[in-house]
Structure 1
Amino acid sequence: MVQRVFEIMDISSTHKDSFPKICFMTYYKLRELAEPAIFQYSNRANIRSIDASFEETLSIARKLIENNEVDAFVSAGSNASILREHLQLPVISIEVSGYDLLRSLMEAKRYGKKVGVISFKNALPPLKEFASLLNLDLYELNYHSPNEAIACIEELEKEKVDVIIGSSLIFDLSTKKNLNSILVYSLDSIHNAFDQALEVCRIKKLESNRFFQINNILQTLPEAVVAVDVDERITAINKKMKMIISSSDSNIYGKVLSELNDVLSLKKVLSKKDITTPKAIQLGGKSWFAVSAQIFENDEIIGATLTLYDSSLITNADEKIRIFERNNLLQARFTFSDILGNEDNIKETIHKAKRYAESQHDILIIGETGTGKELFAQSIHNASSKANKPFIAINCASFPETLIESELFGHEEGAFTGSKKGGRRGLIEAAHTGTLFLDEIGDMPLSLQTRLLRVLQEREITRLGSTTPIPIDIRLIAATHQNLKLHVKEKKFRQDLFFRLNTLQIKIPPLRERKQDIYEYFKLKITHQFQTDQEQAQIRKLLELISPYLSNYFWPGNFRELESITNRIVLLLSEKISISFEELLNEIPEIFELNDDFNSNEPLENTESDALKHQELSLLIEKETSKKQQALKAMKLAHGQHIKASNILGISRTTLWRWLNED
């Protein structure tokens, strides 16, 4: 075996280190032919020429690859075929052109008419046409191994051919037998092969640089990532994944992932049996969220990726996202157009709120639970000059007394045990230039009421642990369902703070004082869900049946309770559009059973005078013909109170309900 390395001495070694490394794997005759080309390309590539054939070729090539001494191979005939079959590196074959064949046959004619051609594996297609044109007797044979090559030469020798055309190996074997021989390749073909090799190396370098960049990105990711080819051999991996699979092997590339850790197997993903659904796995004593994905090229799966997310990082990220979204939602969502109501009292309240929105004074909203105090607060904010500024809402009753101070006023670092490093601004400070809504202000501790009063008077706050006041520009809207005047008398609420808050007062009427709005809201929500004629007919019957009870109910939860009851009815109607009175009793018993408890302040026990009065009323009712008419008359006399009506008739409430719903 002969090995040669051609270099140009005036090119710096540093410069040559950046040249593509090309191995010209050949046999001596082809090498001799290629020497001018090798010299010509030496200022563009490091070309190493090695004489070898068949198995010897493969072992040498593998050693060069292992030592990272080659980027691409250039070879011909059997050598090229063997290298391409067993190696992953690019192998450029020196192709026999039509010109090469014609030149070789014309040269062969000088020796005589009988010409033998030996090629590796496959015949050369245009050979017979050229031989016919040149009036040559052609003997064409193929070989697959060195022994077959020798046998082909011996057979042509028996045929007494004048000359043999073939590869460098055939040329060498023929020469040893003193037979005339011609090398089929030309210098032009070698030039073409070297040009292709340079282009392949250029593209490979670009891909290598891209891979290097991607790999650098992979190393910076907090997730553990690995990529495999279609045989599940690792093509890319970051340090975190290496740590998970407990591998420090620098030659991990090319190894089968499932053999390193079967929990990470991507075989199902590669075989299309897995739909790449994210799943939780346990690995290394930790919980991971595993996400796999298939890699496609031309609609074919060429590999897959696996990404492992640390479950603790996901939890932290989820918290940060929710905090981020909360900060982005520091804007009021509702406007006055979202407030439903046609009763005069609610219209007057809305009109007053709109007027107050135009001012900069603080506002106190008074209303029972569920009347929509925050809805009004947001609407006022959106109708004011601060509409595009922050709207910060805090429920004073939802925070422990020990936390509400730091939440409202913020704190400096080290202000108390567990205080946030670097300090933290409070909600009052966060509302700067906007609106601060304090719901359930009646539950604010007295100690904080003093500090809040100072904020409202001075328009500045001082964080816990600090002595430096911070100027703020806020508008305060406070809300309560409690009687603050009574709290002031009982020393539960500061009088001076009450006067400060009560500059502008809005009192939201309870739902029981808006009977028409109750019916309209219920009707709107019910009819919106059901559109067919049959459904609408049943809805009308339901509305007719339930309307008196809706009007007479006390609605302690106001709109919040009405919405809850409406949702229950909608859910029941979605199962069956026709609802009996008994089903209504089961689904919304409070409308019927709690009515008397909320509507009447009188004791439920019958007194002697009540009994006499009921007896007199009963005589009037007996004139009615049907039980339903008697029940309706009793309800009218009892002002809609079921207990009194049933006492008047001397029947139970259950019997009363049955009479009311008789056809």
Structure 2
Amino acid sequence: MSTPLYEPPQRPRIWALSISRLRELFFDIAGEYVERADFRIVSHGFEDAVREIEGAGAARPDVVLAGGSNGAYLKTRVSVPVVRISPTGFDMMHALARARREGARVALVTHGDTPDEVRRFTAAYALDVTFASYQSVQDAESVVLDLSDRGIDVVVGPGLVTDIAASAGMGAVFLYSRASVRTGFDTALEVAQATRRETVRRQRLDTLLQHLRDGVVALDAQGRVELMNQRLASVLGIDAAKAVGRTLLDLAPDLAGSLPDTDGDSFCTVRGASYVVHRGPLASSGAAAGTVLTFQESRAVERLDRTLRARQRVQQFTARYRLDDIVGASETIEQVRARVARYAKSDATVLILGESGTGKEMVAQSMHQLSARRDFAFVAINCGAFPEALLESELFGYEEGAFTGARKGGKAGLIEVAHRGTLFLDEIGEMPLSLQSRLLRVLQEREVVRLGSTEPTRVDIRVIAATHRALTDSVAAGAFRADLYYRLNILSIALPPLRERPADLLPLAAELLRQAAAREPGLAARVPDAETAARMLSGLGAALRRYAWPGNVRELQNVIERIAVELADVDAETNADATVVSREMLRAVAPEIVEPVARATKPAALTLRERSRHVEADEIRAALAAHGGDRDAVCAALGISKTTLWRKLNGGTR
């Protein structure tokens, strides 16, 4: 039978168990604790108490409070903490003094051995006390009856003993006081609160583990499971609750030999899936008391790695141009824009054909900006700008120690950097044959192997290539792999040279002048938009259309840049030339544009020397276009001085 005293749902549950006069003290004192805990006094002991506790299910107590032999019995038989009531030294002195008043011969009966301090106390005060102890109920009856036969008048002891002594007609003094019972209540409350806190902590930890995507198991020092989350239990095909207490290798024999022997990582296969297994210490009080194993599916690791690599792009790998930046209203440019918009929806490889300076990278960037890959990197590399060895390391990356001077820790190649984005291979026709085969494998397998490594890295890229060469001629000459050509030439865009779209010359020049003016502090206010720029350049239409523009848009940009510098130095308030670009100004800054027009009127054919000069001038203009108008770089590349460069451009001799 049990009597509920208070039932707050969130308070600790404490059961006080007794089958003796200790129960009366429980009832007297429990009322003092009803505000702090749910106390229940249970009139059961020993095996009956065990059945009552274990059968309570979810309503089982957090702590059990009992005295003497009952507490000792329950301590080893129930799965909840048991607090035993212990008499104080004052309790014993008071009880012995009272017993001496009730009888001449006194015996102190305790559960287990009599404490040494009690024996020393009685000896110090010359008290004639007989000591006895018991272990069980039957033992207690035997001890009390033996004391009765020996002429003991009064027995001092816990409730069970005093009840037996009273039944035998002996004097009985109850050992426990209200103070000792109250101390037991306080201790039980502290243990219950600590147990509740630990239970909440474990529940939160268990909830955390259950929400992890990785499988986790905690093992004790003998390799037995202490905790396993449902993720790993599902992977192993076992019941997580039934796994506790069993060794992991008994539950999953297939793991034998594949788990790491020391702290670190290893690979294993579970039911056909590959996992990265990490082993770490399970610490307790600062010392390793077991092991924690984490199982992470290899595919999840790969997905995470790809995501991280894709998001670690820097500003230099961002596309700047958009489709609207492709200026022109000619039919061929309209077709280019339409094709770019159409191809942006596909992930197929694109080959862009066109002379140098026609805007191949602008088209590639525009296509990237319109594609589903716009939020990831746009990585461009000129295949003709690097020596073969350097190009290989730039494209494919390398491991630490792959070659002399390799960066510590290795380096990711541009193919890896472009993961989930777009890789633009400019001047693909200049790529050495040895690298063409490696690039072909990347396009076919979508994986790259760094220099010095044997492990491939998966990549998700879209490749756009560009060339000014006729690749079919290179294939026929054996300078370009036919299989790579067909792999690249799935989608194709041909960009017309500037000389084939004369109607776009003036609008394009106007836009370039607007951009150049924005960079010149003295000119920005005078050229606020492309319409103003078009009016300023309107007198140059014929001259611009007659020129062949071997450097295409890049050459036109260089000429407009020179015009912008000249205009910035002209005083707008005193000089009418500040609002218009005259033919004389064009002749001054770019004589190569005007002179072919004048020569075209000459009836006589060019001499061999004149043709030679024109060839040299064309080569210099092509070099200027290739180096972005950098005259210093062109002079260094051709081995000539700036004076010679201008003289040959102007057709002079010396």
The normalised TM-score by structure 2 is 0.52
1:242 is matched with which residue?
233
Q: One-letter code of the match for 1:130?
A: F
Cα offsets for 1:389-431 (capped at 9, x unmatched): xxxxxxxxxx862799786334477xxxxx6378767458x99
Q: 2:2 corresponds to which residue?
A: 4
Gaps of 5+ in 2: 319-348, 354-359, 381-416, 431-465, 469-491, 499-503, 515-547, 558-624, 640-654
The structural deviation recorded for 1:36 is 0.9
Of 283, 291, 297, the residue aligned with 1:304 is 291
Q: 38, 43, 46: which is aligned to 2:38?
A: 46
Aligned-partner Cα distance in 2 for 1:283–1:324:
31
- The reply to whether residue 178 of structure 1 matches residue 130 of structure 2 is no
**Aligned residue number for residue 187 of structure 1:** 178
Correspondence for 1:408: 365
The match for 1:561 is none
SS in 1 for 2:102: coil
Secondary structure of residue in 1 paired with 2:170:
coil
Q: 1:320 and 2:312 equivalent?
A: no
1:172-571 correspondence to structure 2 within 5 Å: 172-230=163-221, 232=223, 234-248=225-239, 257-263=248-254, 274-325=261-312, 327-328=313-314, 330=316, 401=351, 408-411=365-368, 420=372, 426=378, 440=427, 444-446=466-468, 450=495, 495-497=552-554, 500=557, 501=625, 503-505=628-630, 506-507=632-633
CA distance in 1 between counterparts of 2:111 and 2:72 reads 9
Q: 2:113 aligns with which of 105, 115, 122?
A: 122
> 2: distance between equivalents of 1:452 and 1:132?
119
Counterpart selection for 1:62 from 50, 54, 61? 54
**How far, CA to CA, are the matches of 1:234 and 1:302 in structure 2?**
13
SS at match of 1:113: coil
AA aligned to 1:305 is: V
**8 Å Cα contact 2:549/2:555 also seen in 1:** no
Corresponding residue SS for 1:28: coil
1:424 and 1:223 mapped to 2: Cα distance? Answer: 28
Tell me, yes or no, if the aligned pair for 2:317 and 2:377 is still in contact at 8 Å: no
Query: Is residue 135 of structure 2 the alignment partner of residue 144 of structure 1?
Result: yes
Q: Structure 1's 452 and 102: CA in aligned 2 closer, same or farther, altered over 3 A?
A: farther
Q: Which residue of 22, 35, 38 corresponds with 2:14?
A: 22
User: How far 1:38 moved relative to its partner?
Assistant: 1.7
Question: Deviation digits for residues 363-392 of structure 1, max 9, x if unmatched?
Answer: xxxxxxxxxxxxxxxxxxxxxxxxxxxxxx
SS at the partner of 2:132? strand
Root-mean-square deviation (CA, aligned residues, Å) is 4.3
Per the TM alignment, residue 267 of structure 1 is displaced from its structure 2 partner at its CA by 14
Q: Is the contact made by 2:50 and 2:74 (CA closer than 8 Å) also made in structure 1?
A: yes
CA contact (8 A) 2:378 2:424 kept: no
Whole-angstrom distance in 2 between the partners of 1:230 and 1:492: 80
For the structure 1 residues 166 and 452, does the alpha-carbon distance in structure 2 shift closer, same or farther, using more than 3 Å as the test? farther
Q: Report the AA paired with residue 49 of structure 1.
A: I
Q: Does 1:33 align with 2:25?
A: yes
- Contact 1:22-1:70 at 8 Å conserved across structures: yes
Cα distance change on mapping 1:128 and 1:407 into 2, 3 Å: farther
**SS of residue matched to 1:226:** strand
State the AA in 2 paired with 1:304. T
SS of equivalent to 2:101: coil
- The whole-number CA distance in structure 1 between the counterparts of 2:216 and 2:508 is 55
Q: 2:70 aligns with which of 45, 56, 79?
A: 79
Mapped contact 2:17–2:42 kept (Cα < 8 A): yes
User: What per-residue deviation string (whole Å, max 9, x for no partner) do you get for residues 486-531 of structure 1?
Assistant: xxxxx998644456445533549999x9xxxxxxxxxxxxxxxxxx
Deviation at residue 132 of structure 1 after TM alignment: 3.8
CA contact (8 A) 1:411 1:425 kept: no
- Is the CA contact (8 Å cut-off) linking 1:258 and 1:266 kept in structure 2? no
Alpha-carbon distance between aligned partners in 1 of 2:122 and 2:258, rounded to the nearest angstrom: 54
Q: Decide whether the 8 Å contact of 2:243 with 2:251 is kept in 1.
A: no
Whether contact under 8 Å (2:236, 2:252) holds in the other structure is yes
Which consecutive residues of structure 1, in runs of 5 or more, have no partner in the other structure?
333-398, 414-418, 461-490, 514-663
Measured in 2, the distance between the counterparts of 1:182 and 1:452 equals: 118
How far apart, CA to CA, are the structure 2 residues paired with 1:39 and 1:146? Answer: 30
Alignment partners' CA distance in 1, 2:257 and 2:195: 27
The CA deviation at 1:240 is 1.2
Contact 2:255 2:268 in 1 (8 A): no
Checking the alignment, whether the CA contact within 8 Å between 1:114 and 1:136 is kept in structure 2 is no
Q: Contact 1:114/1:162 (CA < 8 Å) preserved in 2?
A: yes
Given that 2:112 and 2:135 are in contact with CA atoms closer than 8 Å, whether structure 1 keeps it comes out as yes
Residue-by-residue CA offset, 1:214-246 (whole Å, 9 max, x unaligned): 223223221111224456554443331231132
Determine if contact 1:84/1:90 at 8 Å carries over to the other structure.
Answer: yes
Cα 1:328–1:80, aligned 2, differ >3 Å: closer, same or farther?
Answer: farther
Shift in Å, 1:17: 0.8
When residues 315 and 424 of structure 1 are mapped into structure 2, their CA distance, relative to the original with a 3 A threshold, is: closer
Look up the match of 1:153. Answer: 144
Distance 2:220 2:104 in 1: 54
Q: Which residue is equivalent to 1:355? A: none
Distance 1:193 1:303 in 2: 35
Deviations 1:110-148 (A, max 9, x none): 122321112222212222233345543211122222232
**Counterpart amino acid of residue 282 in structure 1:** T
Superimposed CA distance per residue, residues 265-312 of structure 1 (whole angstroms, 9 cap, x where no aligned partner): 89999xxxx423322111122111111222122344333322110110
Partners of 1:452 and 1:163 in 2: CA distance:
123
Structure 2 residue matching 1:206: 3-state secondary structure:
helix
Aligned to 2:101: 110
The Cα shift of 1:91 comes to 1.8
Q: State whether residues 75 and 93 of structure 1, in contact with CA within 8 Å, keep that contact through their aligned partners in structure 2.
A: yes
Paired residues, number: 393
| CA distance in structure 1 between the partners assigned to 2:424 and 2:257 by the alignment | 54
Relative distance call for 1:250 and 1:147 in structure 2 (3 A) is same
**Is the alpha carbon distance of 1:171 and 1:240 closer, same or farther for their aligned partners in structure 2, counting shifts above 3 Å?**
same
Task: For 2:249 and 2:31, locate their aligned partners in 1 and report how far apart those are by CA, in whole Å.
Answer: 48
* Cα 1:219/1:298, change in 2 over 3 Å: closer
Inter-CA distance 17–234: structure 2 relative to 1 (3 Å threshold): farther
C-alpha distance in 1 between matches for 2:80 and 2:289: 18
Counterparts in 2 of 1:456 and 1:58: CA distance versus 1, 3 Å: farther
Provide closer, same or farther for how the CA distance between residues 81 and 212 of structure 1 changes in structure 2, counting only shifts above 3 A.
Answer: same
Deviation at 1:445, TM superposition (A): 3.0
Measured against aligned partners, the alpha-carbon deviations of 1:540-591 in whole angstroms (never above 9, x if no partner) come to xxxxxxxxxxxxxxxxxxxxxxxxxxxxxxxxxxxxxxxxxxxxxxxxxxxx
Percent identity over the alignment is 22
Question: Per-residue deviation at 1:54?
Answer: 3.7
Alignment of 1:601-620 (within 5 A): none
Match for 1:97 among 67, 81, 88?
Answer: 88
**What letter is aligned with 2:467?**
P
Following TM superposition, by how much is the alpha carbon of 1:439 offset from its aligned partner in structure 2, in angstroms? 6.5
